[in-house]
Amino acid sequence: MLTTESASRYESLENMSVRELLININNEDKTVPQAVEKAIPQLEALVEQVVYRMKQGGRLFYIGAGTSGRLGVVDASECPPTYGVPFDLVIGIMAGGDKAIRKAVENAEDDPDQAWKDLQEYKINELDSLIGIAASGRTPYVIGGLNEARKAGILTGCIVCNAGSPVAAAAEYPVEVVVGPEFVTGSTRMKAGTAQKLVLNMLSTSVMIRLGRVKGNKMVDMQMTNYKLVQRAIRMVTEELGIPDEEAKALLDAHGSVRAAIEAGRK
């Protein structure tokens, strides 16, 4: 029995009040960061390897199915606006294609050959890194993709929520976050999904910082795509240079990014 499939610690959920449901779910969620903490040494080793390759021009790929796949797509899609990197530097691919983001595609995760076919569309190569995301640690789509990537000399890592899984065995740098039984038995979109999201946050944020995409604690390369982000950019320039908002906005309008505006303002 997989840990993620083991019985919930709670019984008769349908008889609980709303308050009881919320308190008990929250109590389970509190255990997730502790499980993630135990995996930091594994994650550190993976991040170091990813950074090394990306500094040489490599890309970062995520593959997964269901909730795991969606989390990879979300993390990848947030890197360009947050850090100003090209849209194809971090790429999330999920079993069943983009249409599976909104609606499950039947049996898509059961094909061990499809992930490698999907990766070929991006001409994945030995400078790239591939992270397989699978709560169960036994998704054929992910296992097949990792096995083929490893044969091709591509760095492989994974994020799983069971110990000693086939996905972890297929990856050079496994990250195993064992969160225990779900509140609703087998519903891995809950604690397992939360753990995967936390690990992805840590992985991509650490990578981007090491690639020089953060200065101090600021997103100096972020894309200013709405009013909120424009105002944030103005504050960053104002605080860094000690100038009025109007001058900060003029620098941003002229130079297009917080980093460039600050550099220009110091000349």
Give the active site residues.
78, 109
221, 208 contact by CB (below 8 A): no
Angle at 103 between CA 100 and CA 107, to 5 degrees: 65
What one-letter code names the amino acid at 238?
T
Contact by Cβ (8 Å): 64, 134: yes
What is the DSSP code string of 121-147?
TTT--TT-EEEEEESSS--HHHHHHHH
Q: What span, in angstroms and rounded, lies between the C-alpha atoms of 160 and 196?
A: 8
With H, G, I as helix, E, B as strand and everything else as coil, classify residue 116.
helix
Q: Where are the strands (E) in the chain, listed by range?
A: 60-64, 90-94, 129-134, 155-160, 173-176
Taking CA 22 as the corner, what is the angle to CA 161 and CA 177, rounded to the nearest 5 degrees?
10
Q: Are strands 173-176 and 155-160 parallel, antiparallel or unpaired?
A: parallel
| Dist CA 88 CA 86 (whole Å) | 5
Exposed e or buried b per residue across 142-154, where buried means at least 16 C-beta atoms within 10 angstroms of its C-beta: bbbbbbbbeeeeb
